[in-house]
Amino acid sequence: MAKNITVYGTGSWDTFTQKGIEYFRFRKSYGTETKCFTGRTKKDVLEKIKKFEDNPQNRNQLATLKVPFAKYANECALEFARIRRVATPPSGQRSALLHLQDSLLGKTQLGSVNPAILSDFLFSMSKNGYARKTINEDFSFIKRCLQCAVDKKILSSNPADKVAPLREDEVEKPTKVVSSLELDDIQKLLAEAKRLNTEEFRINGEPGTPVYGVNADIVCFLFYTGLRIGECLALTWEDIEITDGQMSFLKITTSLKEGEDEEGNYTLYRGTTKTQSSKRIVSLCKQAQEILQKQKEAHPSSKSTDFVFVSNENTPIYRRNVNRTLQSMLKRAQCKNQTATVHWLRHSYGSYLISNGADVYAVSKLMGHSSIKVTENVYLDLLSKSSQKTSDIFEKLSPGA
């Protein structure tokens, strides 16, 4: 009988005497509870353990304790998404799940996760070159998953409570590589956006009509404003400030997100920006103003709460479609880089401003970075080149001046 019984974890045996009779006792922890099983013989005790562990409710808890942590974290992420009524977990949680996948922590059973394993995971990420922000965001998600197990009384305590997030001096800061297009590619892209259908080259319209439509306008607008794609697609006409009859600047307060409505249908909705500092004012250059005016003329009956960028049928724009349009434009324009994504346009905006001598503090505010240090870290290489150019100015001074 005893050989066929599978017992999770370990326990302790002892004996006690009651009314002159000796009994065997086995103490064992199950999640938040410690159970005691007693009997006249060890066989009696083991049969009681088996009966307890064969109970469906108890077995489910035990099975959860045996689940690899990476699998349990994935289940938590899906549960968190359902609570928020969105289709998929946010990108940060999806990244954390990828980092857990082949790690020791990810392979460890939920019931065996301890502070030492958690700490080793954080430092292993640091050795692999991940930034402190990424590491601590992963840790925050992991801690939340473990707390979920505590709330469900699967674990008695949260082992992450005994682990501190990594300090700045504990992480090697990797130099962030900025993914931006070269100026030559930008110029080709902006020219390609104006391509018209001809008798010899027709894509999806009559001769004389634009090849790419509103998606090309969005591509150009992203470069001229440095917005994130979600911020751009969430713009409504009330977000545009008009001064002296001119569209002068944007008020960035929301971001367009994809998820599920209360009935489970896939939908688009205006959500929060990436961070609190992402809420900002962005001034409009002449080219950006012209793009907005074009949208206004295309949809003259738009209300103040309507989206600025919409399809010909007045429906919202999906970011994946903008990405597809960008890929087509890059290839047809024969750009050097033909695999860039729309986020590259945001960095191209920042790179262009920094390269042309814009104040780094102003660029930081325009891009909605949490601090000027973030901007300096992202554009460190460009800033060092700019400083070198500045130092060259002094070489023009004559010794006798």
Length in residues, the chain: 401
256: which 2 tokens? Answer: 């367009």
For the chain, the domains span 2-59, 69-170, 183-391
- Predicted TM-score of the model (pTM): 0.59
Which segments of the chain have a pLDDT < 70? 1-10, 30-33, 53-60, 172-178, 260-266, 380-401
C-alpha dist (Å) from residue 155 to 4, 111, 149, 225: 26, 7, 6, 49
In this prediction, residue 269 carries a pLDDT of: 81
205 in Cβ contact with 211 (< 8 Å): yes
28 in Cβ contact with 49 (< 8 Å): yes
In this prediction, residue 391 carries a pLDDT of: 44
CATH topology of domain 69-170: DNA polymerase; domain 1 (1.10.150)
In this prediction, residue 363 carries a pLDDT of: 87
In this prediction, residue 173 carries a pLDDT of: 59
Q: Which CATH class is domain 183-391?
A: mainly alpha
Residue 326, judged by CB atoms within 10 A of its CB (0-12, 13-18, 19+), counts as buried
Say which residue the tokens 């990405």 belong to.
Answer: 323
Measure the CA–CA gap between 36 and 20, rounded to whole angstroms. 20
